[in-house]
Amino acid sequence: MTTVLTLIVLAPLAGFMLNGLIGARLGNRFVGVVGCGLPLAAFALTLVSFRALETGGAPLIETFYTWARIGPRVFDVEFYFDRLSAVMTLIVTGVGTLIHVYSLGYMKEDKGYARYFAYLNLFLFFMLLLVLGRSLLVLFVGWEGVGLASYLLIGFWFEDPEKARAGKKAFVVNRIGDAGFLLGMFLLFWALGTLDMDRINAAFNGAALPAVSASLVGILLFIGATGKSAQIPLHVWLPDAMAGPTPVSALIHAATMVTAGVYLVARMSGIYLHAEVASQVVTTIGLVTAFFAATIAVVQTDIKKVLAYSTVSQLGFMFVALGVGAYGVAIFHVTTHAFFKACLFLGAGSVIHALGGEQDIRKMGGLARRIPVTFVTFVVATAAIAGIPPLAGFFSKDEILWFAFASSRGGAPLLWLVATLTALLTSFYMFRLVWRTFLGASRMDEKTAHHVHESPWSMGGVLVVLAMLSAIGGFIAVPHYLEALLPAPPVEQALHHLETPLLVLSVVVAFAGLAAAAFLYGGTAARAARMEARFAGLHRILTHKYYIDEIYERCLGGPLVWISEHVFLRTGDRLLLDGTLNGMAGLAQRVAGGLSRLQSGSLHRYAFLVLAGAVACLAWSLSHV
Amino acid sequence: MSEATLLNLVLFLPVLGIALVVALPAGRDGAVRWATFWVMMVQLALTTLLYCRFDAAVPGLQFETRLPWIEAWGVYYQIGLDGYNLLLVLLTTFLGPLVVAGAFTAISKDVKLFYAMVLLIQFAMLGTFVAQDLFVFYLFWEMMMIPMFLIIGIWGGERRIYATLKFVLYTAFGSILMLAAVIYLVYSLRASTGITSFAFADLLGTPLPMSVQLWLLAAFGLSFAIKVPLVPLHTWLPDAHVEAPTAGSVILAGVLLKMGTYGFMKLGFPLFPDATRALTPALMTLAVIAIVYGACLALVQNDIKKIIAYSSISHLGYVMLGLVSLDLLGIQGAIIQMVSHGLTAAGLFLMVGMIYERCHTRELAAYGGLAKVLPVYSVFFMILTLASIGLPTTSGFTGEFLVLLGTFTSAWPQYVDGAPWPLAMAVTAVTGVVLGALYMLRFAQHFLFGAERVPHGPVADLGLREKLILFPIVVAIFALGLFPDAPMRKTELAAQHYQALVLAPRAPGSTP
Amino acid sequence: MDRLQILLLLAMALFAVGLLGVIIRRNLLVMLMCMELMLNGVNLSLVTFAQQTGTEAGAVLVFLIFVVAAAEIAIAIPIVLLLVQGKRTLDADAYTDLKG
């Protein structure tokens, strides 16, 4: 038995411990070496495991220890490494390490350097637990743990109450999803007596279906996924989560953590294959999210918010793929998305770094010549996400569109249409971002403009690597690699002849978006301003994100506090309970006060009362003789 | 020394401690503090030894002492350890030294009396846990009230008289009912079997008709429910916590509240199994109301001690839920949750005490941005907050997860059979985890983050003493979160015993 | 009227006179004496009944009561004297300090 998988998981934990406990005392160099070295070690170990997996063929399974035994039930902490985990682990450790390296430069000036790397390592630890865990329980531990790391990193600059609030919001919204996840897990445990995901899949793929509704389980687990992967209606936390440091946004809120929901559904594909209703729900939610998030992204003015909504939208794409049964394709898109979105976020980070903290694209422009490395890598990644061939996004997105159209597990022309429209919007808002940020005339103030500088090599180098991956990532045939594990859904024969026309169409759509952005935002962007004035109402709705935050606050947050305060606290506790209690105490006091008046202190009266009492007793006893 | 003697020594060490403290000359406050501390430490060491020697494979009592006391009434001085009380005894002795050390600087009035009272309550609590005879149990149960009354009444805050009277009246009311039920129970035992005995082991076999079971369960249950406390019998708790000195709050939240749930588990439910089973849906509802109601109220409090007080109500709701789930997972979860709550609530109250000593206010709005000013304090606080939320790898998760899992797995088959209510309760309880995150994070956010507001600042971060107090708690929280198997081995037989007792019919004429 | 009834009537009369005295007289010492009268009225009835039923317990009890009464008066008179020292009066109405 080997311990490689355990080591992969524990390496970042060791980094967390070292940096968290003694990092601040040993200086930034030590923190950097530990903070980046251990994730790198994890990546190396992952490669070792990957080789072992490819030579051996069978999934690697390692038992770490037994968490609990209750009666006949055993909860083991086990790690499971098959091709799906392999892809995810490679992304997590690979992209993760790159972002750690990037952070070396980005966070250099920050006082909480050690703390930052400690949290980042902690995140990696939980993320690896999530993708390597064999049982849903271990996955759940990682699932909540990444939420914690995200909470800590969003609120990293804790002086700012806005940021602390964003962290809290992320945590609580995720918890809502987790409640659904827990219920799904309980239901599976009741039906199958195990939480090991391979066993659950085997049970559902076996001859006799378990005595539990696959759709119900599927929907419950999907609620968890909507929380973590920011799908409607639980998407509200992700844009606010941009309050964290930018590398964090790249790592957690773009490349890895938010794809956990996609991983979960793909991992539990055994259930979803038998859950038609659940799959339809997944598709619908994914599609709606993809579209609406894309529309919001079109008008955002914060560079990170645009990317955040773009992430939400892309995750929606992945769920569409999952819903129509193309699990491998979804993971493919996870992979390419990790490359280009990490590159975009880190590029945005580089821009923000260069401008001394400015995030508003209305105050940028003309940066292309000032920070050329950032510009070039950003454009490559943008082209990738827009779906321009032969970059990474083109391949994965095109496959999603194809299966949305043709999959016999729920593909439909309408799905394809909305998804393609979303792709058009994606291309448009991404190129809009490029134009507003890098091209045209500078809209910076003098002071900022003076300070603009290209980022150090540790940041630029990472950008280049990621841009290269965004460019060639599409040639990594992830769906093919996963075919044995997650076979592609059957496609209706009659539709095969449409594959090439659709492909051409999707390329046209990508360029149309580019053209539209160039048309509207080229030059002085006067056309865009006119459009904005003309559709002021729509613009306002989009800027306010369809007022969903406000609606939640009005319909959920407000009433909860109101009920707690007025019904439970004031009426329940104070009025009813304490009121009754104090009332009873008051009554007793008043009665006693009345009786105490008899206690006059006059001996004669007492004696007289004794006499009266004696006479009364006598009279009573006489009358009853 | 035999092991039974060891347990007796553990139990009576506080009494020796009281004698020692009283014997010390007046004015030697430092000596009193250290004497009490070391008594507690020795007690903890001995209990740890007992814990290690406790054989998980042996059912029933271990380290048992049984001596005749009032033979005419069949009263025996009978104590022992079993899976029911093992962890709680360990928890009590674990918190003992921390409570004492936590009060080193906070208490400067009547130091001798204070530590004597702390030792006395320690004695009473341990006695209640280890008692295996209802008479002895009742004596210790009543004994707990007096030192707590004095601790709140003498060293408490401004409205201490109101709070302490409320506490005593509630508790005494419950005790009277329990006393009546105890007497009735012993008489029924004599009527049906001819033996007069207060021993738990004998009483647990008393056949009782259903109607009697219901009345007696109501009487015992009311007494225990006040201690837990279950809504709507809870209003004494926030007041008592707010007015009590830190040590009082820690004892109250850490151990005293568990008396209620322990009472239900050891006596209330197993003594009257038919009534318990009949009332399971109602009891589940009460537990879930406690979970949700406590959480909602914690959400709108502005006094930091009240937030923790209401969170206690919510957390103990989970314990009750696990106990009435009658599923092994839920029962084990409930036991772990009791210990977990003891650790987190005690830790949080200690931390509130530490900040109160510095800033002299408990108003949440007065604080902000402590993370920057008190980094070490904030780390500890964050860990305790997360454990309270029930984040995986902390003890809170182990407890809550198992309780919810057990409740769900017992409720789902009932739903399939056409009884949806337990399932509805289980699902509501699961949503409780959201509320838990909501109120604790609101607390942490106002407290640790945001603009810097430190009343009576600038203040110093935690000193060595305070770090040494909090560190063991944090270690225990993670130990129970990551490696719950070892303690659960030792409680498994008790959990099974409890389950079997409550599931078996007891009313005369019913077929087993 | 047989002897029993006469004795009982006498006992009642003693008790009634004593009670009346306690109620209408204001002098503390007189009140004490009246209380002794009441006590002795009860004592008399006790002896009477004891003789009637032929039990010795009643007679024994009477002796016990004598002793207790003596002790009681031995304490009561000093109390009264102490009270008088404080307020310089024997009037019972002056002593209403226990008013509720």
Smallest CA–CA distance, residue A583 to chain C, in Å, is 23
Task: Tell me if C100 and A604 make a contact (CB, 8 A cut-off).
Answer: no
Residues of A in contact with C31 (CB under 8 A): 603
CA distance A591 to chain C (A): 13
Evaluate whether B112 touches B34 at the Cβ level (below 8 Å): no
- The number of angstroms, rounded, from the C-alpha of B137 to the middle of its chain's C-alpha atoms is 16
Token output for A290:
């993809």
Selection from B36, B103, B101, B376 nearest residue B244 by Cα:
B103
Residues in C closer than 8 angstroms to A598, CB to CB, are: 100
Q: How many CB atoms lie within 10 A of CB A494?
A: 8
Structure tokens, B19: 């004698």
Residue of C nearest to A593 (CA): C100
Which of B297, B386, B430 lies at the smallest CB-CB distance from A569? B297
Cα–Cα dist A136/A78, whole Å: 10
Q: A-B interface: how many C-beta pairs under 8 angstroms?
A: 135
Q: What pLDDT is attached to residue B429?
A: 92
Q: How far is CA A20 from the centre of its chain?
A: 24
Cβ contact A601–C98 (<8 Å): yes
- What number of H helices and E strands is found in chain C? 3, 0
Token pair, residue B221, equals: 């249950």
pLDDT band, very low/low/confident/very high, at A455 (cuts 50, 70, 90): confident
Cβ neighbours around A349 below 10 Å, total: 27
Cα angle: A286, vertex A287, A288; to 5 degrees: 95
- Which residues, listed in sequence order, are joined to residue B453 by a DSSP beta bridge? B368
Q: Which residues of B touch A190 (CB under 8 A)?
A: 408-409, 412-413
Per-residue pLDDT of chain C (100 residues), as tens digits, is: 688 899 999 999 999 999 888 888 888 889 889 989 999 999 999 888 888 888 888 888 888 988 999 999 999 999 999 988 888 888 887 887 766 5
Nearest CA to A148 out of A68, A18, A252 is that of A252
Nearest-angstrom CA–CA distance, A340 and A393: 8
Which residue, A196, A137, A79, A126, is CA-closest to B402?
A137
* Residue whose entry in the numeric block shows the structure tokens 């490359």: A339
Instruction: Identify the pLDDT of residue B43.
Output: 94
Contact A85, A132 (CB under 8 A): yes
Cβ-nearest to A600 among C19, C24, C99: C99
Name the 3-class secondary structure at A411: coil
Torsion of CA B379, B383, B388, B393, to 10 degrees: 170
CB contact under 8 A, A596 and C100: yes
Instruction: Say if residue B420 is preceded by a cis peptide, omega within 30 of 0.
Output: no
Q: Counting beta carbons within 10 angstroms of the beta carbon of residue A321, is it exposed (0 to 12), middle (13 to 18) or buried (19 or more)?
A: buried
- Phi, psi for B81 (deg, rounded to 5): -105, 140
Contact, A387 vs A506, CB < 8 A? yes
Picking from A153, A173, A186, A574 by the largest number of B CB atoms within 10 A of its own CB, the best residue to mutate is A186
| Nearest CA among A455, A470, A433 for reference residue A359 | A433
Phi, psi of A82 (to 5 degrees): -115, -165
Average pLDDT over residues A157-177: 82
Instruction: Classify strands B62-70 and B75-81 as parallel, antiparallel or unpaired.
Output: antiparallel
Q: Which residues of chain B have pLDDT under 70?
A: 1, 509-512
d(Cα B263, Cα B358) in Å, to the nearest integer?
A: 38
Does A603 touch chain C if contact means CB atoms closer than 8 Å?
A: yes
> Helix, strand, or coil here: A82?
coil
Pick from C23, C92, C98: CB nearest A611: C23
Contacts of C96 in chain A (CB under 8 A): 600-602
| B404/A276 Cα distance (integer angstroms) | 28
Instruction: Identify the CA nearest to A286 among candidates A338, A237, A326.
Output: A326
* A568/B297 CB distance under 8 A: yes
Contact (CB<8Å) A187/B408: yes
Cα torsion through A242, A248, A251, A252, rounded to 10: -60
CA angle centred on A231, ends A230 and A234, rounded to 5°: 70
- Three-state SS across A436-452? HHHCCCCCCCHHHHHHC
Q: Quote the CA–CA distance of B101 and B70 in Å, as a whole number.
A: 39
**pLDDT one-digit tens code per residue, A106-132:** 888 888 888 888 999 999 999 999 999
For the ranges A240-249, A549-558, B492-501, the maximum mean pLDDT occurs at: B492-501
Q: pLDDT value at position B510?
A: 56
Strand partners of residue A61:
A80
User: Distance between CA A449 and CA B210 in Å, rounded?
Assistant: 85
The minimum CA-CA distance between B450 and chain A, rounded to whole Å, is: 4
For residue A573, give how far its alpha carbon lies from the nearest alpha carbon of chain B (Å). 7
Longest dimension (CA), chain C: 51
Q: Is C19 helix (H, G, I), strand (E, B) or coil?
A: helix
For chain A, the first-to-last Cα distance in angstroms comes to: 98
Give A191-196 contacts, CB < 8 A, sequence gap 24+: A193/A73, A194/A135, A195/A75, A195/A135, A195/A136, A195/A137, A196/A78, A196/A80, A196/A134, A196/A135, A196/A136
Higher pLDDT, A493 or B339: B339
Residue to mutate among B405, B475, B488, with most A CBs inside 10 A, is: B405
Residues of A in contact with C22 (CB under 8 A): 603-604, 607
Is the N-terminal amide bond of A12 cis, ω within 30° of 0? no
Chains that touch B (3 or more CB pairs under 8 A): A
> Partners for C (CB, 8 Å, 3+ pairs)?
A
Residue B511, pLDDT score: 47
For residue B18, give Cα distances in angstroms to A158, B120, B249. 47, 7, 21
Distances (CA, A) of B198 to A131, A535, B92, B276: 56, 83, 25, 21
pTM of the model: 0.88
Q: Rounded to whole angstroms, how far apart are CA atoms A438 and A183?
A: 48
Q: Higher pLDDT residue, A561 or B117?
A: B117
CB contact under 8 A, B427 and A145: no
Contact of A606 with chain C, judged by CB distance below 8 Å, is answered with no
Q: Which residues of B are less than 8 Å from A227 in CB distance?
A: none
Q: How far, in Å, CA of A505 to CA of A19, rounded? A: 51
Interface confidence, given as ipTM, is 0.91
State how far the Cα of A323 lies from the Cα of A333, in Å rounded to an integer.
14
CB B199 within 8 A of CB B207: no
Place of tokens 């056309």: A527
> Strand (E) positions, B222-322?
none
Q: Could A171 and B441 be called an inter-chain contact, meaning their C-beta atoms sit closer than 8 Å?
A: yes
pLDDT of A53 reads: 87
Give SS3 for A160: coil
Q: A592 in contact with C at a CB cutoff of 8 Å?
A: no
Structure tokens at B239: 């007041």
Q: Does C31 touch chain A (CB under 8 A)?
A: yes
Contact B450 A159 (CB under 8 A): yes
A245 preceded by a cis bond (ω within 30 of 0): no
**CA A470 to chain CA centroid, nearest Å:** 22
Q: Show the tokens assigned to A21.
A: 């406990």
- Block residue for tokens 């001690």: B305
Query: Tokens 């510095």 label which residue?
Result: B358
CA-based angle B480:B486:B491, to the nearest 5? 95
pLDDT the model gives residue B1: 58
pLDDT in tens, B322-346: 999 999 999 999 999 999 999 999 9
> Are A186 and A254 within 8 A, CB to CB?
no
Q: What is the pLDDT of residue A93?
A: 92
Say what the pLDDT of residue B217 is.
93
SS3 B453: strand
Question: For residues A386 and A108, what is the distance between their CA atoms, to the nearest angstrom?
Answer: 33
Q: Does the structure show a pLDDT above 90 at A28?
A: no
Instruction: Tell if the CB–CB gap between B449 and A161 is shorter than 8 Å.
Output: yes
Please give, rounded to a whole number of angstroms, the shortest distance from the CA of C58 to a CA of chain A: 23
- pLDDT score at B512: 42
**Dist CA A113 CA A133 (whole Å):** 30
pLDDT at A616: 93
Cβ B313 vs Cβ B234: under 8 Å: yes
Chain C residue with Cα closest to A608: C23
Rounded CA Rg of chain A: 31
DSSP string, A269-329: HHHHTT-HHHHHHHHHHHHHHHHHHHHHHHH--BHHHHHHHHHHHHHHHHHHHHHTT-HHH
- What string of DSSP letters covers A30-76? HHHHHHHHHHHHHHHHHHHHHHHHHHH-SPEEEEEEEEEEETTEEEE
CB atoms within 10 A of CB C97: 8
